[in-house]
Amino acid sequence: LAYLDYNATAPTRPEALAATLSAMRTVGNASSTHRSGRDASSRVDLARRQIADLLNCSHGEIVFTSGATEANNLALRAAFATGGKIVTGRAEHPAVLETAKALTAENSGSLILLPVDEDGLVDMEAFHAALATNEVAIVSLMAANNETGVLTDLAPIVEAAHELGALVHTDATQIVGRLPIDLAETDVDLLSLSAHKFGGPQGVGALFVRRGISLPYRPLLFGGGQERGWRAGTLNVAGIAGAGAAAEAARKALPAEAAHIAQLRDVLEASLVEQAGDCRINGALSQRLPGVTSITFHGAPADAVLAAMPDVAASEGSACSSGAPSPSHVLLAMGRSREEADSTVRFSLGYATTSHDIDRAVVSAVRAVRQVRTALAVPL
Ligand code: PLP
């Protein structure tokens, strides 16, 4: 199988597997003060430093969670604890969109959804207009889109939001470990990540909370006060250890890995465009993640194309949201028709992708698209 679905989840890095297994072979609650507890907490401390090194922040700014979904929920809830407005984008992941909707509905706050253009970029005029309405508690815009890989230029967003006293959160789930991130340079207040996207275990993530920011703050989980009160519950030591090891492996491999992946992606795109014909790469004119291609094969519904290429793991729209057959809200927000959205396949590459995977995917996808188009062609 050519696995080209890294945006859904990446294969576990060997370093992560080793660190997770090693932690699971020992006993210890990271909150206990005896030697076993100290061993567990030193594994967590190491992982915290490894994640912080990947982001170039301080280890004291990392709060471990069960993933990016929880980190997004926690960030928005913490910033919105005293109400106001949430500004976010129409192409965000449901873990931000649905949270923002729920929070503003519960607290009769207001939600401003920024449009994106046909290349997937946030409409900056609408962003400035939203900020000017005042009382914006938080701006939440993703660093990289999970369906198209389109990157958001966060610097001007942070600068404008901070001038008006609004906090900035970014869902960086798809960029962490894939492109360098420097939190000393990018002044976001809150950032979410999920370990399984960069080769760590599923069910582990983190929220970066910049030291010194003033946040109304309300945790999602109350209990034993772990993670400095941010997230109660016994720490998932084995998962966290794996997340840390994956972060370190990803940091060491960057940026050479990113350049290699981009090269493979470019070959994939050029071959598909040339051989399948009548297609469109979504977000092609924007800065994108190195490993993602979202491609609309006109006249070939993606579910049929995927079914016709069982030796390739790719996805229709976004597999990480659900198996529901609704069209991609991201592509609709970019102005695509429902038919175009339904004829779009996402291939996402990562650290272990080989040129053999790409060759295989090209042969299978081109064959599948031709087959589906032929089957659907109206006989003369
Ligand atoms: N945000 C983005 C951009 C994602 O791609 C995902 C993927 O699933 C998530 C959030 C949610 O991550 P998790 O399911 O690990 O909580």
Residue 96's CATH number: 3.40.640.10
- 178-204 average pLDDT score: 97
Same domain? 175 vs 36: yes
Give tens-digit pLDDT for 238-251.
999 999 999 999 99
Angle at 82 between CA 78 and CA 87, to 5 degrees: 70
DSSP letter for each residue of 99-110: HHHHHHHHTT-E
This prediction's pTM:
0.96
Query: 227 and 281: one domain?
Result: no
Q: Sorting pLDDT into bands at 50, 70 and 90, what band is 319?
A: very low
Residues carrying an active site annotation: 320
Write down the pLDDT at residue 82.
Answer: 86
Mutate which of 6, 88, 146, 179 for ligand 1? The one with the most ligand atoms within 8 Å of its CB, which is 146
Of residues 323 and 143, the one with the higher pLDDT is 143
Domain range holding 201? 14-253
Confidence of residue 380 (pLDDT cuts 50, 70, 90): low
Question: Minimal CA–CA distance to 207: which of 194, 219, 197?
Answer: 194
Claim to verify: residue 163 and residue 268 sit in the same structural domain = no
Average pLDDT of 54-70? 98
Q: For the segment 335-372, what is each residue's pLDDT rounded down to a tens digit?
A: 999 999 999 999 999 999 999 999 999 999 999 999 99
CA of 10 to the centre of ligand 1 (A): 12
* Ranges of H-type helices in 132-224: 154-163
Same domain assignment for residues 116 and 172: yes
> Which residues sit with their C-beta closer than 6 Å to ligand 1?
67-69, 93, 95, 142, 146, 171, 173-174, 194, 196, 205, 320
Model confidence at 216, pLDDT cuts 50, 70, 90, reads confident
Q: Does the CA dihedral 268-273-277-280 come out positive or negative?
A: positive
Whether residue 280 sits in one domain with residue 170: no
Q: State whether 171 and 150 are in the same domain.
A: yes
Q: Mean pLDDT of all residues in the chain?
A: 95
Nearest CA to ligand 1 atom 14: 69
Q: Is the pLDDT reported for residue 323 higher than 90?
A: no
Strand partners, 2: 312
- As for the ipTM of the complex, it is 0.99
Give distance in angstroms: CA of 60 to centre of ligand 1: 23
Q: What are the residue ranges of helices labelled H in the chain?
A: 14-24, 35-55, 68-79, 94-106, 124-131, 154-163, 237-253, 256-276, 302-307, 329-333, 338-342, 355-376
Pocket test for ligand 1, best of 64, 65, 69, 220 (most atoms within 8 A of CB): 69
pLDDT score of 41 more than 80: yes
* Listed residues 224, 253, 282: the one ending a domain: 253
Considering the domain architecture, whether residues 369 and 226 belong to the same structural domain is answered as no
The predicted structure's pLDDT at residue 361: 98
Does one domain contain both 57 and 103? yes
Last residue of a domain, one of 253, 278, 301: 253
Please report where in the chains the tokens 């920024």 appear, as a residue: 114
Given a cut of 50, is residue 223 above it in pLDDT? yes
Among the candidates 220, 253, 286, a domain finishes at 253
Q: What is the mean pLDDT of residues 285-314?
A: 97
* Cα gap 271→267, rounded to integer Å: 6
Q: What pLDDT was estimated at residue 378?
A: 67
CA of 303 to the centre of ligand 1 (A): 22
CATH code where residue 314 lies: 3.90.1150.10
Name the residue with the closest Cα to ligand 1, atom 15: 67
- Do residue 94 and residue 189 come from a single domain? yes
**For residue 134, how far is its CA from the centre of ligand 1 (angstroms)?**
29
214, 304: one domain: no
Q: How many domains does the chain have?
A: 2
Structure tokens at 154: 């966060």
User: Using CA atoms, how far apart are residues 311 and 53, in angstroms rounded to an integer?
Assistant: 37
* 186 and 112 within one domain: yes
Same domain for 70 and 142? yes
Buried-state track 206-237, b at ≥16 Cβ within 10 A, e below 16: bbbbbeeeebebebeeeeeebbeebbeeebbb
